[in-house]
Amino acid sequence: MGSAPAANVREICRARRADGPAAVLAIGTANPANCVLQDDFPDFYFRATKSDHLTGLKDKFRRVCQKLGVQKRYLHHTEEMLGAHPEFLDLHAPSLDARLDIAKAAVPKLAAEASRRAIAEWGRPAADITHLVVTTNSGAHIPGVDFQLVPLLGLRPTVRRTMLYLNGCFAGAAALRVAKDLAENNRGARVLVVCAELTVLLFNRPEEGCFQVLINQGLFGDGAGAVVVGADPVITTPAVREHPLFEIVSAAQTIIPESEDVIAMHLTKGGYGGNISTRQVPVLIGDNIERCLLDAFEPLGIGAEWNDLFWDVHPGSSAILDQVDAVLQLKPEKLAASRRVLSEYGNMFGVTVIFVLDELRRRMEKGEEEGAPEWGAMVAFGPGLTVETMVLHRCVAQGTGAAAPPEDKLTVA
């Protein structure tokens, strides 16, 4: 077989790339049924862990719970489940296998629920998904959630899967970044991004002197988010047309220098161990966020008037959002979507930015996003201290805000 001249190979590569930018075509979310109210949670938590005698610690936990910006969360684990696993209440008992078994069964189901919603909104058959990018911190299985999702969703066995484990809270943004590259470099690709988290690996009994346990129990929630990403929106039939919501214009990731131990977690025999330097995290984010944003926006020639943008900031806690507000001098409503998601669902690791994107879309459709900004930023934080930055462009609404592309931007499959 003769080799093609170099120029032809370049042509072939070019022809395989999409014409336009990757865009968010649909979003789906899901949570477990078990809803816990933050006001009731200290009573539940200290009762379920047989720790009611630690009255001082319970009072402290109550104070911490009030400071996080969370009012409600959804948790897969229930009092009955904890009752069936006394080993979960002992920081030093081996419980990893049991926790992983729970995650193995439950994460794919929750991930599938969010995915089905995204695919239904997208309007095309699941078999049209060409690539699957799945991310979770809740599990360590091979084959993983990505593999389980293929039959659960009716995806093709040839769907090209990428599984991202243990990316902490930047997992959702990282998966979207990967999806952008896949969509733009494979003409016609339709990438399903799925992010799912359960906190059963984090659950532990309160202990004097262990502040991290209090943060883990008070802040994090369970959920799944799914996004269909693709370039060059398509009309498959007159009745079915893709509706891009946000174009993903650029995506970047940065390590904050000397931050290796700021957020560090690892699997232990008792579930997740590790530490989040809760006092340092907001400060470091405040010190670095503007530089990350300037690096993202300046090359695009977009002015850095931060109040002219819409914002999807990972709501790590209200202290983090307050710091972002203060440094960027944002108007109070600018982080409303992030604050609402934190309040209603807690910090769901990488899933949270997908919920915020969904909330932003809803606010835009209802005309609640002041000034209807065209450009926006997604900012996510995670281990080390890593910052993911994404520049988004809202696809301008036709009438309702349910964004539809102009006819000349549509291609027919």
Ligand X SMILES: CC(C)(COP(=O)(O)OP(=O)(O)OC[C@H]1O[C@@H](n2cnc3c(N)ncnc32)[C@H](O)[C@@H]1OP(=O)(O)O)[C@@H](O)C(=O)NCCC(=O)NCCSC(=O)CC(=O)O
Q: Give the interface segment with ligand X, choosing from 98-106, 112-120, 150-158, 278-286 (CB under 6 A).
A: 278-286
Q: Which of residues 135-194 bind ligand X (CB under 6 A)?
A: 168-169
Position 354 contacts ligand X (CB under 6 A): no
* Min separation Cβ 206 and ligand X, Å: 13
The answer to whether residue 404 forms part of the interface with ligand X (CB under 6 A) is no
Tell me if 313 contacts ligand X by CB under 6 A: no
Residue 42 lies near ligand X (rule: CB under 6 A): no
Q: Which residues contact 388 (CB under 8 A, 6 or more apart)?
A: 170, 173, 174, 177, 251, 252, 253, 378, 379, 380, 381, 382
User: Do residues 306 and 329 touch, judged by C-beta distance below 8 A?
Assistant: yes
Rounded to whole angstroms, how far apart are CA atoms 264 and 287?
20
Q: Which residue among 93, 98, 319, 327 contacts ligand X (CB under 6 A)?
A: 319
- Rounded least distance, CB 212 to ligand X, Å: 8
Residue 18 vs 57, nearer CB to ligand X: 57
* Structure-block tokens of residue 154: 């009716």
266 binds ligand X (CB under 6 A): no
For residues 178 and 248, the answer to whether their CB atoms sit within 8 Å is no
- How many helices (H) and strands (E) the chain has is answered by 12, 16
C-alpha closest to that of 268 among 91, 135, 106, 141: 91
Query: Residue 191 in contact with residue 161, Cβ under 8 Å?
Result: no
Which of the ranges 153-161, 272-280, 332-340, 364-372 carries the binding residues for ligand X, by CB under 6 A? 272-280
Q: Establish if 279 lies at the interface with ligand X (CB under 6 A).
A: yes
How many other CB atoms are there within 10 angstroms of residue 209's CB atom?
6
* 168/336 Cα distance (integer angstroms): 23
Q: Which of 169, 195, 292, 395 is catalytic?
A: 169
- Residue 29 amino acid letter: T
Please report the beta strands in 31-158, taking only residues with DSSP state E, as ranges in sequence order. 35-37, 72-74, 131-136
Task: Annotate each residue in 58-77 with x if it binds ligand X (CB under 6 A) or - if it does not, as one string.
Answer: --x--xx--xx---------
Contact between 211 and ligand X by CB under 6 A: the answer reads: yes
Q: Which stretch binds ligand X (CB under 6 A): 7-15, 99-107, 153-161, 316-324?
A: 316-324
Q: Which of 31, 138, 217, 347 binds ligand X (CB under 6 A)?
A: 347
Q: Is 169 a catalytic residue?
A: yes
Q: Which residues are catalytic?
A: 169
Residues that bind ligand X (CB under 6 A): 60, 63-64, 67-68, 168-169, 211, 263, 276, 278-279, 281-282, 316-317, 319-320, 347, 381-383
